[in-house]
Amino acid sequence: MLQVDFTMADLQSSMLGYSEGMLVNEDVLRKANRAYKIFHDKYLAIKDQIKDFDEARYAFLYHDMSLEYFAKQAKLMVRAGNYNSLDIFGNYLEYIDSYNELSALIRNDYVPVKSDEKGV
């Protein structure tokens, strides 16, 4: 079993604080930047622990990127004065998918399958 210093509490501490349909304003941007920073810092701290486990590495990277893209889109929107939630909806869906994938991995105690065990 893969030993990773990252729990559901860690994942939940990096939630966006955004839900579908909310206006994208300065508060959403601040929360998105905070969520990305928290997760990114934790991800960097455990990166070496997961480097040999493709499923875990992919799930963490995917979630890190989805948070980053959401925060960048929110920044562009706020800067342009565009508060329409439809313009960030795709980024939000990516975030939800990556969150669910990483959450499932954590709940399953990071049971990794090495590539040589897959018959590759």
Which pLDDT belongs to residue 107? 87
| 118: in domain | no
Residue range 52-75: average pLDDT? 96
Burial grade of 53 (CB within 10 A; 0-12, 13-18, 19 or more) = buried
Residue 58, in any domain of the structure: yes
State residue 69's pLDDT score. 98
Note the pLDDT of residue 108: 85
Look at residue 120 and tell me if it is in a domain.
no
The pLDDT of residue 116 is 52
Q: b vs e for 56-75, b when ≥16 Cβ sit within 10 Å of the residue's Cβ?
A: beebbebbbebbbbbbebbe
User: With 50 as the cut, is the pLDDT of residue 63 above it?
Assistant: yes
Could you give the number of structural domains in the chain?
1
- The 3 state secondary structure assigned to 9-69 is HHHHHCCCCCCCCCCCCHHHHHHHHHHHHHHHHHHHHHHHHHCCCHHHHHHHHHHHHHHHH
pLDDT digits (tens, 9 = 90+) for 66-84: 999 999 999 999 999 999 9
Is residue 119 a part of any domain in this protein?
no
The answer as to whether 86 is a domain residue is yes
| Residue 112 in this model has a pLDDT that exceeds 50 | no
Domain limits at 84? 8-112
pTM: 0.86
Confidence of residue 2 (pLDDT cuts 50, 70, 90): low
Average pLDDT over residues 77-106: 96
